[in-house]
Structure formats: structure tokens, C-alpha cells
Amino acid sequence: MKNLLLKRFLRYVSINTESDPESNTCPSSLGQLELADLLVDELCELGIQNAHKDAFGYVWATLPPNTDKDIPAMGLIAHLDTSPDLSGENVRPLVHDKYNGKNLVLNHEKQIVMRVETYPELKMYTGQTLITSDGTTLLGADDKAGIAIIMTAVEHLCKNPHIPHGKICIAFTPDEEIGRGADQFDVEKFGADFAYTLDGGQLGELQYENFNAAFAKVMISGVNIHPGEARGKLINSMLLAMEFNNMLPENETPYHTEGYQGFYHLTSISGSVDDTLLEYIIRDHDNSTFEHRKNRIRHIAHILNEKYGGTRVQTEIRDQYFNMQNKILPVMHIVELAKKAMEVLAINPLIRPIRGGTDGARLSYMGLPCPNLFTGGHNFHGRHEFVPLESMEQAVMVILKMGEMLTNNAR
């Protein structure tokens, strides 16, 4: 199984599926369509007759039940795109067999090294097979590891028809990394009673809580005049932007927070004396604190407008997704199913909140409860991304074990 997983994963990461936040199309990049077509072909070759790509680049497929037992339909979901934070073009994956626990040289020419002192989690995988990029691009394990895991589990069931299972629904979504993965998702068409996104990190991760998320745009207008005649007249919008940002809590940034702690994250700043634009993402697990964070942005704008007069500071705040916990708590048996499957396989379940979001967050609010399972990857979205092949194999085994447990518990 490991060799099959490796070949499949390397094939997928060779396709550039970097999403484009500036595009208005769905999917936002042509590479996602290329990968979607490849996956449809592979699913059809496995004998799944209804595998297809829709007009928006979503891949849909159903593995029919092979038993008369009344088994709930389980869904498996991963996303096609990779993050636009770092290039996904010309990915050159490196396979480090029997990793020795020391620093990993990714690129001799550019002197790109993954150091154990910076990434101590590397030590956990001594003796295993690690996959990285050459350090000039991301690897794409987020979420091509998830795709490879699902495809390998499905292939195993297709090639072993004696293994009883219920209906398994499969979907691969575009543009998750830019927050659009669920935009065109048809829950009724999918046909699952519940689902799991394969979009998590370290071996054993099981997640059913995520941030509430919002995007904030702060638009600041200044007054430009010749600096020689500026006294009492010139208002530099860039300095006003700095003043705005400095009024946010200094210790509530991603750098200072962890676990359930929320934050304000300045993602973009551009401007001149005349006009400056600040863009933030706002994150918090707690609903009331989330609302307080959004109101703080508005309140700071109000204070500065009173100080400088007029409406020099304007804000636009848009909710992006909400904490799936509210939708998962009534159906916690699907979390327990994954947890028990891991325990049977001697995998330590790491139940922890997602400091971000997945398609599963929005899908849960669309009527499809959807916790998140591990793929094994680390350091997503960056040049030091890596995934242990053994962790991917374990994820396949968790899917198969969940299917087995659902079948054994059914009447």
C-alpha cells in the first residue's frame, strides 16, 4: 500500500493547482481542472460508474454498498487546490527514505535546510519515509495527501469486494484555500449522512472545532499637500493606518497565540499619503469574543474619525465561516467513530481545535456534519512542508476501519 500511496501522491503534486484569490471563476485556476480530470479517470478505472466532474470543477463519485445491512452513508472529502501563499508550480518532491533524525537539506544550491532545532517534530519520524519539496515551492500535501489517502482507501475497497461496506460518497472540491470550497457544494447530490474532510495535520489529529472567521477591510483617506506648507493640514493616511493597527492588542496576533486563543492578523497593507488599505483576518473560537473582535475594529475606526474629523477611516467586515462545534455536538457519535477506529489501530487520537477552517466548517452549517481527520502533514503553506508516508498509510487504515465498524454495528 505504501508504494501505491507514494506513486499516487507524487503524481498529484506534479500538477499545479494553486488557487487564485483574484479570479472570479470556479475553479479559480486551470490546474484544478487538470487534477479533477485525472481523478475522474482514475475513479472510472476502478469501476465507479457515476464518477464525474461538474461545471464548477467538483469531482463527485459514489461507491455503492455491497451489503444489505442498513449502514449510514459516509462521505470523504478533500480539496484540489493548494495555497496561493507560496508557488505550487514545478514542485520537485524529494523522498527521504529512512530519515535519520537530523537536519534535512532540501536544496544544496540555495542552501535551504529544514533544521531540527526549528522543527523538533521531525524527530518523531526518525526511520520513516518523509516527503518534502526542494524548498523552492510548497509541497502540496495540503491537500493532495488527503486526496491520495481517499483514493487509496477507495481502490482497496474496489479491489477487495469481499470486504462489506455501506455507501461511501466521495467529493474533491476546488478553491478551499481561498474560502470558496463549499460555494457550489450540493449536499443533497452528495448523498452522505455525515462526512469527514481529510485535511488535517499530524498523525492522530481529529478535529470538530474551528475558528469563527471574518475578513476586515480598513480604508483610510488622508489629505495630501506640499510638505513645506503642511503644518496643521496634511494627514498622512499611512501614519493613520499605523495608528489604527497600534490600537489593536499587541499580544493578539498569530505569533502570540495558540490553542483556543483568537487573533487579529494583518494580511495586507498598501498605500500612499492619500489613501491606505489595511486587510485583516479575524479569528476566534468563542462566538461572543468573535463578535467583540469585529466590534473593536469598528470602534477604533470611530475613535479615529472623531479625532481627525469626517469619515477618514471606513471599515467593511464580512463573515467567512463559523465554528462547526455547534453542529457536531448533536452528532458526536461520528467523532467517537473516528476516535475508536484510531484507538483500535493503536493511534493516539489528538482531539484539538483547528486554528483555521476547512470545507467541513461550512458544510456542517449546510446540513452535512463534517469533522476533520489527519493526513499526516506538517508546516502546510510553506517551503518546509513535509508529510511522512507512514502517516498517510495510517490514515487509509482509519478510513477502512471506520467502514468496518459501521458495517459491524449495523443490522
**Does 176 qualify as catalytic in the annotation?**
yes
Query: What gap in Å lies between CA 301 and CA 351, rounded to an integer?
Result: 38
Query: What gap in Å lies between CA 204 and CA 76, rounded to an integer?
Result: 17
Question: Looking up cell 467538483, which residue turns up?
Answer: 58
Query: What gap in Å lies between CA 373 and CA 398, rounded to an integer?
Result: 9
Is the backbone peptide bond immediately before 120 cis, with ω within 30 degrees of 0?
no
Selecting among 18, 20, 42, 81, the annotated active-site residue is 81
Query: What gap in Å lies between CA 309 and CA 287, rounded to an integer?
Result: 33
Query: What gap in Å lies between CA 363 and CA 382, rounded to an integer?
Result: 27
**Angle at the Cα of 381 (from 376 to 382), degrees rounded to 5?**
100
Question: Looking up cell 544550491, which residue turns up?
Answer: 109
* Cα dihedral 181, 183, 187, 188 in deg (nearest 10): -140
Q: Nearest-CA neighbor of 85 among 172, 178, 180, 215?
A: 178
**Does 393 qualify as catalytic in the annotation?**
no
Query: What gap in Å lies between CA 21 and CA 27, rounded to an integer?
Result: 10
Q: What positions carry a catalytic annotation?
A: 81, 176
